[in-house]
């Protein structure tokens, strides 16, 4: 095996290894680990240190992997199981690969793996990775093709074929309708929005900060002074220390009134929720308000419930809302169902009684309860250990937002206040370049809403302002809030973040509604625009499928003498003369002369001109 072949085999495996690494966190680590191990060993095989595994062994392992994946996922269809299966298959194929055909199949599995990675992550970086990895795989496919092009020629052929393929690919991207549907296999599981229809404190033993963008809000008023709450699912049903969302039908029937705010000091805000993969409700709370007219048009929200329902699987959707500086509460009917709760232990009941001594109104009770957390030395901790119930939490006196929200809501209900838990996000970093607020997964949050004495909803965040454990004090300092005080790194970061945002708006969120908008705009623009569209289509098709590629669009730049000579040779060839381009012009003329002197005489000037021009 030559060093170049070895290097290419290594490159192929490293590309797949990289893609598998990107799946880290998306599929069970055991499959990622196995695939990585297999690919690393296959590099040794490619280098000739170890012999390839026999095919029966890898086939057996593939079947076994399929069974294990089915057992762990309960299905073989969907993003996660297919990603796990592809990662394992790629490594097994790499372990048994012997010839060029195997290498080509491995490259094809890699391309498929890339498509699956794209399903999980949709941002600027994934786009760049996709472009580079696709180029790498196609280059390797050309190298391993039956013709076996040299490195340089494979590169040049790849460039030319890609340039020709791009226009049609772009047309397909723009014109193939994005069908809105519920998905072939039913609703997908929760995406990286962080929202969930349940809140089980301590279900996540250790929270890792994850900076995946969840939503961005256009915001042209500088850094917001107050932390913003981005309201997501509303959980009203307690089960022990956990909370669950009510079925939507029941929730509607329960007279859930929208939050209404006076329309003053409005400023338009654009939200992008990416990606949304479930039936989540989403609404701002606190300092943000809904501009109902625009809200209904953009979101088809339900003004009765005030919940912003997003269409299933609509991703990177843009929402128009309005913001106000302050929000007075809105009255709703009494909610007796919001007082249901599991029984408290005697110890907790006594603790509650002592904490609420002297309070009368709901507002006072909730404020006192929240205050107790600050006064009694409760800590914010990302690793509080397993806290299975309210008693354990009150003893441990540490936890994160989920523990505090669940505890406050349960204690509130025990004190006779109708409460519920809301999950969503708190905060967001302001980007002065793109003038938006970016909210990431690490800002996922949970808090409490309760009905006050006027039956108006109020929010209460038991976590905000808590002292944090020492381990969390070393967090990176907050980013500068303005362009002027930022260093070059922050400016670069903001710039790239803005670019990422633009990609999300114009590329990732291109859906049926945008296609319809595009079509309507073209129709309204009249026949001129349609003619222009036709010309663009023609140019794209000619570029892709014309014999001379994009040069088909240009007039021929061939000199007149050469063009005449070329046409003459083609014509004589059709007439059966023994002429060709590899023969000299005089030789061709001689051949024609032998066949037909008159034709040769007529062609002499063409040949003479050609000789004069070329020689």
Partner 1 sequence: MAAENADSPLKKKVYILPTGFGLVYGASLFLMLLLAYTYQSNLAYALTFFLMSFGLVVMLVTHRVVSHLKVREKFIAPVYAGRVFPPPLIVEEGGELDGAPEAVIFRPVKPTNLRAGEKGWRADERGIFALSRVEVRSLYPLGLFQAWKRVPVNARLVVAAAPIDHALRSAGGGSGGEEKPRASAEPREIGELAAGRPEDPPSSIDWRSMARGRGWQKKIFLAPGQRERRVSWEETESLQDTEKRLQQMSAWILAAQEKKLNLSVELPDGRQTTSLNEALTALAAWRDPS
**Contact between residue 256 and residue 332 where contact means Cβ atoms under 8 Å apart:** yes
User: Using the rule CB under 8 A, which residue among 27, 36, 95, 114 binds partner 1?
Assistant: 114
CB burial of residue 296 (10 Å; 0-12, 13-18, 19+): middle
Nearest of 63, 113, 56 to residue 86 by alpha carbon: 113
**423 sits in which H/E element:** strand 419-426
User: Using the rule CB under 8 A, which residue among 32, 97, 138, 466 binds partner 1?
Assistant: 138
Reading the block at residue 579, the tokens are: 């002429």
Site string for partner 1, 484-513 (x = CB under 8 A): -----------------------xxxxx--
Q: How far apart are CA 367 and CA 462, in angstroms?
A: 9
Given the rule CB under 8 A, which of 144-152, 262-270, 291-299, 390-398 is the region that contacts partner 1?
144-152
User: How many separate helices (H) and strands (E) can be counted in the chain?
Assistant: 19, 16
Minimal distance, residue 471 CB to partner 1, in Å: 37
Minimal distance, residue 363 CB to partner 1, in Å: 45
**151-175 vs 124-143: helix crossing angle, rounded to 10:** 130
Nearer to partner 1, 179 or 249 (CB): 179
CB burial of residue 182 (10 Å; 0-12, 13-18, 19+): exposed
| Binding flag, residue 153, partner 1 (CB under 8 A) | yes
Minimal distance, residue 412 CB to partner 1, in Å: 40
Q: How far apart are CA 341 and CA 338, in angstroms?
A: 8
**401-414 vs 346-355: helix crossing angle, rounded to 10:** 80
Nearest of 100, 85, 115 to residue 1 by alpha carbon: 100
Reading the block at residue 528, the tokens are: 């001129």
**Percentage helix, strand, coil, to 5, in the chain?**
50, 15, 35
Q: Which residues sit opposite 198 in a β-bridge?
A: 244
Nearer to partner 1, 53 or 154 (CB): 154
Q: 578 to 597, contacts with partner 1 by CB under 8 A?
A: 578-582
Q: What are phi and psi of 367, to 5 degrees?
A: -65, -40
Nearest of 219, 224, 220, 243 to residue 232 by alpha carbon: 243
Nearest of 404, 393, 412, 392 to residue 352 by alpha carbon: 412
User: Using the rule CB under 8 A, which residue among 32, 85, 89, 116 binds partner 1?
Assistant: 116
Reading the block at residue 429, the tokens are: 């970093």
| SS3 label, residue 186 | coil
Minimal distance, residue 277 CB to partner 1, in Å: 8
Half-sphere exposure of 481 (CA within 13 A, CB side): 7
| Binding flag, residue 23, partner 1 (CB under 8 A) | no
Given the rule CB under 8 A, which of 118-126, 384-392, 486-494, 555-563 is the region that contacts partner 1?
118-126
| Binding flag, residue 533, partner 1 (CB under 8 A) | no
- Strand intervals (E) in 198-289: 198-199, 213-218, 229-239, 242-245, 267-273, 283-285, 288-289
Q: How far apart are CA 468 and CA 445, in angstroms?
A: 15
Minimal distance, residue 70 CB to partner 1, in Å: 18
Minimal distance, residue 321 CB to partner 1, in Å: 23
User: Using the rule CB under 8 A, which residue among 11, 105, 200, 207 binds partner 1?
Assistant: 105
Cα 12 to Cα 31, 42, 136, distances in angstroms? 20, 10, 8
Minimal distance, residue 316 CB to partner 1, in Å: 8
| Binding flag, residue 342, partner 1 (CB under 8 A) | no
User: Using the rule CB under 8 A, which residue among 14, 41, 62, 119 binds partner 1?
Assistant: 119
User: Using the rule CB under 8 A, which residue among 24, 67, 132, 145 binds partner 1?
Assistant: 145
Site string for partner 1, 538-567 (x = CB under 8 A): ------xx-x--------------------
- Strand intervals (E) in 441-542: 444-451, 457-460, 467-468
Nearer to partner 1, 8 or 402 (CB): 8
Nearer to partner 1, 269 or 504 (CB): 504
Minimal distance, residue 178 CB to partner 1, in Å: 6
Q: 162 to 201, contacts with partner 1 by CB under 8 A?
A: 162, 164-169, 172-173, 176, 178-179, 181, 183-185, 188
Residues 6+ apart with CB under 8 A from 270: 216, 217, 218, 318, 319, 320, 436
Nearer to partner 1, 146 or 336 (CB): 146
Site string for partner 1, 62-91 (x = CB under 8 A): -----------------x--x---------
User: Using the rule CB under 8 A, which residue among 156, 350, 376, 388 binds partner 1?
Assistant: 156
| Binding flag, residue 134, partner 1 (CB under 8 A) | yes
Reading the block at residue 17, the tokens are: 């290894």
Minimal distance, residue 208 CB to partner 1, in Å: 24
Nearer to partner 1, 169 or 516 (CB): 169
Nearer to partner 1, 557 or 582 (CB): 582
Minimal distance, residue 211 CB to partner 1, in Å: 19
Site string for partner 1, 511-530 (x = CB under 8 A): x-------------------
Within 237-377, residue ranges assigned H as helices are 248-253, 292-299, 346-355, 362-375
Name the residues that contact partner 1, by CB under 8 A.
Answer: 79, 82, 101, 104-105, 108, 111-112, 114-116, 118-119, 122, 126-127, 130, 134, 138, 141-142, 145-147, 149, 153, 156-157, 161-162, 164-169, 172-173, 176, 178-179, 181, 183-185, 188, 275, 277, 313-315, 507-511, 544-545, 547, 573-576, 578-582
């Amino acid at each position: 095996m030559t060093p170049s072949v070895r290097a290419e085999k290594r490159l192929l495996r490293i590309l797949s290894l990289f893609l598998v690494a990107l799946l880290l966190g998306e599929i069970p680590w055991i499959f990622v680990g196995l695939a990585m191990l297999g690919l690393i060993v296959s590099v040794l095989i490619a280098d000739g240190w170890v012999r390839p595994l026999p095919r029966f062994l890898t086939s057996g392992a593939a079947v076994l992997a399929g069974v294990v994946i089915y057992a762990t996922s309960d299905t073989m269809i969907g993003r996660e199981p297919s990603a796990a299966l592809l990662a394992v298959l790629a490594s097994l194929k790499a372990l048994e690969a012997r010839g060029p055909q195997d290498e080509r199949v491995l490259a094809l599995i890699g391309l498929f793996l890339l498509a699956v990675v794209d399903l999980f992550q949709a941002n600027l970086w994934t786009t760049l990775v996709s472009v580079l990895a696709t180029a790498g795989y196609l280059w390797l496919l050309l190298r391993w093709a039956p013709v076996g092009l040299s490195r340089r020629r494979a590169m040049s052929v790849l460039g030319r074929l890609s340039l020709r393929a791009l226009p049609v690919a772009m047309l397909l991207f723009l014109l193939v309708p994005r069908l809105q549907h519920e998905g072939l296999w039913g609703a997908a599981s929760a995406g990286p929005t962080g929202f969930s229809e349940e809140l089980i404190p301590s279900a996540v033993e250790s929270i890792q900060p994850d900076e995946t963008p969840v939503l961005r809000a256009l915001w042209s008023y500088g850094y917001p002074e107050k932390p913003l709450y981005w309201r997501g699912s509303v959980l009203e049903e307690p089960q022990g220390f956990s909370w669950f969302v009510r079925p939507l039908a029941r929730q509607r029937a329960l007279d859930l009134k929208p939050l209404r705010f006076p329309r003053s000091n409005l400023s338009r805000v654009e939200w992008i929720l990416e990606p949304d993969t479930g039936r989540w409700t989403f609404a701002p709370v606190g300092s943000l308000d809904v501009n109902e007219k625009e809200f209904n048009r953009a979101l088809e929200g339900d003004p009765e419930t005030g919940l912003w329902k997003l269409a299933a699987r609509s991703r990177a959707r843009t929402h128009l809302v309005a913001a106000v500086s302050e929000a007075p509460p809105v009255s709703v009917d009494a909610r007796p169902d919001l007082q249901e709760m599991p029984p408290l232990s005697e110890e907790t009941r006594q603790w509650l009684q002592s904490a609420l001594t002297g309070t009368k109104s709901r507002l006072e009770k909730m404020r006192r309860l929240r205050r107790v957390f600050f006064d009694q030395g409760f800590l914010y901790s990302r690793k509080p250990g397993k806290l299975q119930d309210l008693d354990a939490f009150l003893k441990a006196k540490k936890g994160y937002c989920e523990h505090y929200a669940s505890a406050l809501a349960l204690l509130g209900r025990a004190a006779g206040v109708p409460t519920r838990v809301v999950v969503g996000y708190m905060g967001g970093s302001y980007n002065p370049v793109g003038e938006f607020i970016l909210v990431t997964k690490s800002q996922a949050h949970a808090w409490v809403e309760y009905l006050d004495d006027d039956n108006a909803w109020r929010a209460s965040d038991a976590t905000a302002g808590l002292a944090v454990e020492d381990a969390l004090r070393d967090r990176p300092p907050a980013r500068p809030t303005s362009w002027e005080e930022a260093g070059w790194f922050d400016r670069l970061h903001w710039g790239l973040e803005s670019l990422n945002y633009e990609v999300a708006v114009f590329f990732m969120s291109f859906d049926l509604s945008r296609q319809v908008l595009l079509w309507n705009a073209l129709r309204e623009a009249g026949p001129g625009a349609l003619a222009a569209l036709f010309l663009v289509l023609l140019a794209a098709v000619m570029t892709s499928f014309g014999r001379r590629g994009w040069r088909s669009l240009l007039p021929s730049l061939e000199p007149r003498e050469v063009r005449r000579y070329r046409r003459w040779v083609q014509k004589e060839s059709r007439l059966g003369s023994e002429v060709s381009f590899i023969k000299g012009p005089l030789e061709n003329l001689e051949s024609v002369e032998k066949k037909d002197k008159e034709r040769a005489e007529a062609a002499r000037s063409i040949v003479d001109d050609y000789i004069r021009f070329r020689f």
